Amino acid sequence: MAKRPAPAPRAFQRMLSGRRLDLLDPSPLDVEIEDIAHGLARVARWNGQTTGAQIFSVAQHSVLVESIAADLDPGMPARWRMMALLHDAPEYVIGDMISPFKAVIGHDYKAVENRILAAIHMRFALPAATPAALLTITKQADKAAAFIEATRLAGFTIAEAEQFFGRPRLALRNLDALVSPMDATSAKDLFLARFAELESAMNHPA
């Protein structure tokens, strides 16, 4: 009697909303902002190697990067700011791998990340691919956020962080609040509030 073929390995993530996101072929219809916020608020930056009683979550990092991007380009339209806020949104499914490990894995990780990000963008009426100019600004903002987090939370000296990330010049007034680790519920609420503000600005441009 021939053996039955082994079932294919599970390639979807079940969300608390009941949605199932297929990592190999993600559909925008399976993306919910509540799931994204819930997941990102529980994913730790720096593999959790930060000071304080709480982790510094990817949800907080996302709000920080969006704020820095707007500081770098004060005229940035709301839809671009939304894309900056969502730049790490795939990590609600795949987690936050530190850059050295991403370098070890190579292009396979990036391909999965890009597919999920495209589905997220389309779910919220954004271009599937990030425009080149915005990608440049977002990377600058991401590096600036990394410098701030590294020196304030992750134990890096200023000289060490400057070597890896460069030293940003920013004029953010609420920086202390943005880099103060918070509990998961507060981080989720912070992310959702900023998402709602940007969505409203997109739908009702001045």
Q: Is the entire prediction scored with pTM above 0.85?
A: yes
Give me the pLDDT at residue 66, please.
97
Amino acid identity of residue 60, one-letter, is Q
β-pairing, 12-14 vs 20-22, is antiparallel
Give me the pLDDT at residue 103, please.
64
Local confidence pLDDT in tens for the 206 residues of the chain: 566 665 556 678 899 999 999 888 999 999 999 999 999 999 999 999 999 999 999 999 999 999 999 999 999 999 999 999 999 999 999 887 766 666 666 667 788 899 999 999 999 999 999 999 999 999 999 999 999 999 999 999 999 999 999 999 887 778 888 999 999 999 999 999 999 999 999 998 76
Give me the pLDDT at residue 60, please.
98
Give me the pLDDT at residue 28, please.
95
Give me the pLDDT at residue 194, please.
98
Residues linked to residue 57 through DSSP beta bridges, in sequence order: 44
Amino acid identity of residue 87, one-letter, is H
> And the tokens for 6?
């082994």
- Cα 106 to chain centroid distance, Å, stands at 19
Q: How many CB atoms lie under 10 A from the CB of residue 187?
A: 27
Q: Pick from 21, 102, 98, 89: which is nearest to 59 by CA? A: 89
Phi, psi of 178 (to 5 degrees): -70, -25
Q: Is residue 44 classed as helix, strand or coil in its secondary structure?
A: strand
Q: Pick from 137, 51, 44: which is nearest to 97 by CA? A: 44
In angstroms, the CA 35 to CA 7 distance is 27
Per DSSP, helices labelled H in 10-155 are 33-40, 58-72, 78-85, 91-94, 99-105, 107-123, 132-152
Give me the pLDDT at residue 173, please.
78
Give me the pLDDT at residue 1, please.
54
Give me the pLDDT at residue 161, please.
96
In angstroms, the CA 76 to CA 93 distance is 28
Give me the pLDDT at residue 104, please.
60
